[in-house]
Amino acid sequence: MSLPTDPAPVSLGKDPPDAAPDANTANGPVAAQVQVFPAHFSGQAGEYFRLWLVNLALSVVTLGLYLPWARVRNRQYLYGHTWVDGHNFEYAANPWALLRGYLLVGVFFGAYSAATQLQFSGWEWVAGPVALIFVLAYPWLVRQSLRFLARSTVHRGLSFGFGGSLGGAYMAYGVANVAAGVSFGLALPLAWYAQRDYQVRGLRYGAATGRFRGGPGGLYLIGLTALGLTVGGGLIVGVLSTLGAVLLRSGQTAPFGDEFGDILEQPGVLAGIVATYLGFLVLYMVGWQYVRAATLRYVLNHFELGGVVRARATFSTARLVWIGVSNAAAQLVSLGLLTPWATVRRARYVAAHTQVLSLVDLGTFVAGPAAPAGALGEAATELLDINLGF
Amino acid sequence: MPVPPPAPAAPLTLSGTYFDGRSSQPWPATLETGPGGRATLTLAGPGPSPEPAAPLHWPAAALRAEPALPGLRRVIRLPGGGRFETGDEAGVRALEARTRQNRVLGGVRRLEGSWALTLGATAALGLFVWGFLTFGLPALARSTAAVTPVAVLETFDRESVRLLDTDDFLAPSRLSAARQAQLRREFARVSAWAGGGYRYRLLLRDGEPAHAPFALGANAFALPGGTVVMTDQLVALARSDRELMGVLAHETGHVTRRHGLASVYQGLGLALLGTAVTGDLVGAATFAAAVPSTLLQNGYSRRAETEADERAGAYLLRAYGTTRPLRDILARLEAQDRAGEGGPEPQDSASPGDLLRTHPGTAQRLAHLREIENAAR
């Protein structure tokens, strides 16, 4: 399956308005006047916590009807506190459209789950088509989703856009995913590449179009590193748990009972099993967070817009993995209450180590042709957001 | 609230940054709302061309103030795709008041701004969730169950029986065909009395087959469409068929009051609520998959048991003039259960039927049945 990165990988931000226009930076496209605009995230954990909690409470009290507004407000806060060149981003989605999307999704999901749960006569004729439609329309839905997300993102009064083709979506999210599946994961990094390439190439800011300078090789490197991390870590966990078991057995005075139940009643054994299980859980988390962080870094470092703007990520992948894993642990322990803190912490770190490099003044972009995006696309976004939400 | 008069308000001037929506160039500008309800945007410096740009005019009502967000400048959307950003919070609030915008989200913003209000909202939330789960959801589930067509109930029965038989919970009864037929005949009298248009049938099953995931033991339970399952073990425990008919009348009470379906709906409602709040379909799907087994393992609420007991009491009084048979078998079941807990094979979690669902309540249930009898005298 695809591992979608942050759907708005280009939400770089930055602050000081007095960015010096002197060219002292390498890495630019040409040895011309490259201006560097560091990104900056200004959100506060306490402030965001209040916003998040109030909106969560309102969602619950309204039995979910307020959810679109809650979602929009949360995103507006996160986008709005991301700065580049003294200007913040803006999330401009229409909550009413999102509500329509939710209701549409609710009808489909309700029919599907009622059919599979209650299995009334003819239930296959409800569940089957719904599942089939979802599978067949998946790439189209991804494209609608990317369109909606881009259109809802505004910077300096100018909206982003997405111009990826439908054929491209079926290649990147259909063919590539199937290939990754039938090749036992060998083509998975290729699918990642195809998806990132599709996302970046389709991106528009005004009339400027995105370009992905990376190749499949970079993503294969990420995939192999993740595999190495997981296998190596798995070996360590395995060896440790075996060692533990052996030690425990040698400390046993009486011979082992014959029944499995007896073994399980030894407190040490149960603790060992739990520890091993936790070890593998952490390993899985680390592997997945690594792929996420390394891909974000890779995409940022190979992103180009209109031939004049590039991004640069200087964050450490290992540190971002640590932030991801410790965030997840904190959220788990706090029963989700630390979610806003975790979000702010990650956004702040990523923004602080991301820069925008530009050959031109960022005020010189002009609008391109506006692509229409109907309510169905917005509904699709939510459908996908729910299913892909990590 | 009194309707404010068409305010001959003083002119309101905001200074900030203007974007025309066609380029990423910011322009310092002022936005002025005059007494006539007319808004005027004027660039503070020179525009794109050397000569000063002409001011833009709109009716003030066409301006759309974006809801306030903590720590951020305010944004006003202008007709034609332009936008105006300003740090003048008080000014934008005055504009909002004048054009009556964002009244709800402005309130949300006030909630978000204060720790006390946030924590108050959280407490209210907790109270609401508790109240909804305790009263709202069960009531909703009951009324939905009451209007569900019988055809749906019968499908549910068919699938549940298939599941119970294929998953080895139950095996074919070991009672003789003659005994089974006799019990069915007696049950026909109970079900004819219970009525309600359900297709009643009595299934006799062995509740302790060799490979069962857990033993049902002496038990009886009703499925929503009128199928009542009774185990051989319960038949063996009874000292008379009157006792068994008391139990079966109790089960028809669950059917006619639609308790089974209500508890399924309650589980689905929980799953739906979980989805709505977390936006997570996978978690909800996992939860929904657990609904049938939840139904089996948690049985009914004490309130449902009381209702079913009242139906059983009514039948027993009418048929035998006493509620004693049901009281006897309930007491014997509890005695057996208690003995079982101390014994070598604990069977507490192994009893998924509903007869003794509310363990501590058996004494009250017996007392209530006695009351019913006394009231009838």
Which of A203, A217, A270 lies closest to A241, judged by CA? A270
Question: Using CA atoms in the order B218, B223, B225, B226, what is the torsion angle rounded to 10 degrees?
Answer: 10
Q: What is the mean pLDDT of residues B174-197?
A: 90
Nearest CA in chain A to B291: A117
Q: What is the interface pTM, i.e. ipTM, of the complex? A: 0.74
* Pick among B41, B77, B112 to test the A interface (most A CBs inside 10 A): B112
Whole-number Å distance between alpha carbons of A348 and B173? 67
Question: Using CA atoms in the order A333, A339, A345, A349, what is the torsion angle rounded to 10 degrees?
Answer: 110
pLDDT of residue A24: 44
Contact A158 B21 (CB under 8 A): yes
Contact A47 B285 (CB under 8 A): no
Whole-number Å distance between alpha carbons of A12 and A358? 13
What residues of chain B lie within 8 A of the CB of A98, using their CB? none
Radius of gyration of chain A (CA): 24
Nearest CA in chain B to A107: B272
Whole-number Å distance between alpha carbons of A189 and A297? 15
Contact B155 A53 (CB under 8 A): no
pLDDT of residue A21: 42
Chain B closest CA to A235's CA: distance in Å? 30
Specify the pairing of strand B201-206 against strand B227-231.
Answer: parallel
pLDDT of residue A265: 56
Contact A60 B122 (CB under 8 A): no
Count the helix, strand and coil residues of chain A and give each as a percent rounded to the nearest 5: 60, 10, 25
Q: Cα separations (Å) of A102 from A46, A242, A283, B101?
A: 29, 49, 35, 25
pLDDT of residue A2: 40
Question: Nearest 5°: phi and psi at B205?
Answer: -140, 155
Whole-number Å distance between alpha carbons of A143 and A149? 10
Rounded to the nearest angstrom, the gap between the alpha carbon of residue B190 and the centroid of all alpha carbons in its chain is 33
Chain B closest CA to A172's CA: distance in Å? 24
Higher local confidence (pLDDT), B98 or A319? A319
Q: Which of A86-90, B66-70, B239-243, B338-342 has the lowest mean pLDDT?
A: B338-342
Whole-number Å distance between alpha carbons of B13 and B36? 14
What residues of chain A lie within 8 A of the CB of B277, using their CB? 56, 59-60, 64, 67
pLDDT of residue A12: 36
What residues of chain B lie within 8 A of the CB of A54, using their CB? 108, 111-112, 117-118, 121
Chain B closest CA to A367's CA: distance in Å? 5
What residues of chain B lie within 8 A of the CB of A205, using their CB? 24
Burial annotation A234-244 (CB, 10 A radius, 16+ → b, else e): eeebeeebeeb
Whole-number Å distance between alpha carbons of B249 and B193? 9
Supply A208's token pair. 């400027």
Task: Give the containing element (helix H, strand E) for B75.
Answer: strand B74-77
Chain B closest CA to A44's CA: distance in Å? 9
Using CB atoms, pick whichever of A80, A121, A156 lies closest to residue B72: A80
What residues of chain A lie within 8 A of the CB of B265, using their CB? none
Contact B268 A117 (CB under 8 A): yes
CB A84 within 8 A of CB A155: yes
Rounded to the nearest angstrom, the gap between the alpha carbon of residue A87 and the centroid of all alpha carbons in its chain is 24
Question: Using CA atoms in the order A331, A332, A337, A342, what is the torsion angle rounded to 10 degrees?
Answer: 0
Using CB atoms, pick whichever of B24, B155, B292 lies closest to residue A157: B24
Chain A closest CA to B215's CA: distance in Å? 19
Q: For B226-276, how does the pLDDT look when each residue is reduced to its tens digit (9 = 90+)? A: 999 898 989 998 899 989 999 999 999 989 888 888 887 877 777 666 665
Nearest CA in chain A to B270: A63
Nearest CA in chain A to B152: A120
Supply B191's token pair. 């079900």
pLDDT of residue A30: 44
Q: Which of A318-332, B150-164, B184-198, B227-241 has the lowest mean pLDDT?
A: B150-164
Which of A179, A182, A174 lies closest to A136, judged by CA? A174
Higher local confidence (pLDDT), B371 or B341? B371
What residues of chain A lie within 8 A of the CB of B116, using their CB? none
pLDDT of residue B119: 87
Whole-number Å distance between alpha carbons of A328 and A326? 5
Residue type for position A109: F
For CA atoms B346, B349, B353, B355, give the dihedral sign: positive
pLDDT of residue B137: 83
Whole-number Å distance between alpha carbons of A103 and A61? 17
CB B348 within 8 A of CB B360: no
CB B223 within 8 A of CB B163: no
Chain B closest CA to A93's CA: distance in Å? 12
pLDDT of residue B108: 85
Q: Burial of B185 by CB count in 10 Å (0-12 exposed, 13-18 middle, 19+ buried)? A: exposed
Q: For B272-294, how does the pLDDT look when each residue is reduced to its tens digit (9 = 90+)? A: 666 655 554 444 445 444 444 45
What residues of chain B lie within 8 A of the CB of A73, using their CB? 67, 69, 105, 108
Nearest CA in chain B to A105: B281
Q: What is the mean pLDDT of residues B191-204?
A: 89
Contact B128 A61 (CB under 8 A): yes
Contact B23 A113 (CB under 8 A): no
Supply B185's token pair. 């005949």
Q: For B24-55, how does the pLDDT look when each residue is reduced to its tens digit (9 = 90+)? A: 888 889 998 887 778 888 887 776 665 566 78
Using CB atoms, pick whichever of A42, A54, A205 lies closest to residue B71: A42
Whole-number Å distance between alpha carbons of A190 and A217? 8
Is 80 exceeded by the pLDDT of residue B65?
yes
For CA atoms A138, A140, A143, A147, give the dihedral sign: negative
Higher local confidence (pLDDT), B304 or A221? A221
pLDDT of residue B178: 92
Task: With cut-offs at 50, 70 and 90, classify the pLDDT of residue B341.
Answer: low
Question: Using CA atoms in the order B162, B163, B165, B169, what is the torsion angle rounded to 10 degrees?
Answer: -160
pLDDT of residue A9: 37
CB B246 within 8 A of CB A352: no
Whole-number Å distance between alpha carbons of A319 and A290? 10
Q: How many CB pairs under 8 A join A and B?
A: 143
Specify the pairing of strand B171-172 against strand A82-84.
Answer: unpaired
pLDDT of residue B123: 85
Q: Where are the alpha helices (DSSP H) in chain B?
A: 89-99, 103-113, 115-131, 137-146, 150-166, 177-194, 232-237, 241-256, 259-278, 281-289, 291-298, 302-320, 324-342, 362-376
- DSSP string for A241-290: HHHHHHHHHHT-SSPPPSSHHHHHHSHHHHHHHHHHHHHHHHHHHHHHHH
Whole-number Å distance between alpha carbons of B251 and A298? 64
What residues of chain B lie within 8 A of the CB of A42, using their CB? 71
Whole-number Å distance between alpha carbons of B305 and B322? 19
Q: Cα separations (Å) of A131 from A179, B79, B164?
A: 20, 42, 27
What residues of chain A lie within 8 A of the CB of B73, using their CB? 88
CB A8 within 8 A of CB A82: no
Show pLDDT as tens, one digit a residue, over chain A (390 residues). Answer: 343 333 333 333 333 344 444 444 444 444 568 899 999 999 999 999 999 999 988 888 887 788 889 989 999 999 999 999 999 999 988 888 888 877 877 788 778 877 776 666 677 888 888 888 888 888 888 888 888 888 889 999 888 989 999 999 999 999 998 999 899 889 999 999 999 999 999 999 988 999 999 999 999 999 999 999 999 998 998 888 888 777 766 655 444 444 444 555 566 677 778 888 888 888 988 999 999 999 999 999 999 998 899 999 999 999 999 999 999 889 888 878 899 999 999 999 999 999 999 998 888 888 876 655 544 555 555 554 433 322
Chain A closest CA to B268's CA: distance in Å? 9
The neighbouring-strand residues paired with A204 are A161, A209
Nearest CA in chain A to B105: A69
What residues of chain A lie within 8 A of the CB of B67, using their CB? 73
Whole-number Å distance between alpha carbons of A42 and A115? 47
Using CB atoms, pick whichever of A53, A56, A365 lies closest to residue B24: A365
Nearest CA in chain A to B18: A157
Using CB atoms, pick whichever of A43, A58, A389 lies closest to residue B280: A389
What residues of chain A lie within 8 A of the CB of B21, using their CB? 157-158, 367
Nearest CA in chain B to A123: B155
CB A50 within 8 A of CB B112: yes
Q: Which of A108-112, B209-213, B371-375 has the lowest mean pLDDT?
A: B209-213
Higher local confidence (pLDDT), B361 or A321? A321
